[in-house]
Amino acid sequence: MTDSPAARTSRRRGFLVFLRDVLVIIVIAALVSFVVKSFVVRSFYIPSASMERTLLVKDRILVDELTPRWTDYARGDVVVFKDPGGWLDPQPQTPAQPPLVQAVDWVLNFVGISATDSQDHLVKRVIGLPGDHVVCCNALGQITINGAPIDELSYLNLPEGDTAASNETFDVVVPDDSVWLLGDNRDRSRDARAHQDLPSGGFVPMENIVGKAFLTTWPLDRMGPIDGHHDTFNGVPDPE
């Protein structure tokens, strides 16, 4: 017994309604993911060794974009930021990908699953806040902030027997709305110290900070919170 035209029309209409509902769900999910990526949490991967041992090359991390807008940043926070100019070497031209691959990559970036723009960002630890007087180093090889020494050995990646927080000296006062950022792998990090000859003086404007890294999500054996070691800075007084 064959279906009547009315039955076939009804089934076709039902399929179209189902397809419409699926597309609406996909669009809503994509928009929600985009909003989350743009204003709440964003994913990045680590392209260099400058933050070892805290973060390793190819680690994938989540960055909190929302909370710092209310609480501001603190000394010790690990932050992701856009290059203020001159920090990153020029990237070589890569061959154009097929249109389909570009489209898929755009969608994945749009919803926050992919993180291909990680190469355009950097990750470092906040050492100096606006107004701080940051000096390297005292007789023990420690950085001082507003005259108070900080002991960073719990998180620095230094060669065996080396306890100096930096082999490069500096004496800076952090300008308003800027921060002084250093990598934990001090001997292999081109951080604020390496960019003092730039117009920015090596400081990074607050507006360039994307957010605070709070969780390592990949690989699975390294999944866990990212330590700000804020107790290291407990004895630092406010700037004069």
Q: Give me the sign of the Cα torsion angle 69, 42, 155, 164.
A: negative
Question: Residue 235 carries which DSSP code?
Answer: T
pLDDT(225) > 80? yes
* Least confident segment among 99-103, 117-121, 156-160, 161-165: 99-103
Contact indicator for 127, 180 with CB cutoff of 8 Å: yes
- pLDDT tens profile 135-181: 999 999 999 999 999 999 999 999 998 999 999 999 999 999 999 99
Pick the catalytic residue: 37, 43, 124, 212? 124
* Least confident segment among 59-73, 127-141, 197-211, 213-227: 59-73
Structure tokens at 185: 């792998």
| Annotated catalytic residue 124 | yes
Kindly indicate the confidence band of residue 26, based on its pLDDT and cuts at 50, 70 and 90: low
| Annotated catalytic residue 154 | no
Query: 114: Cβ–Cβ under 8 A, 6 or more apart, which residues?
Result: 105, 108
pTM for the whole thing? 0.79
Pick the catalytic residue: 50, 166, 189, 200? 50
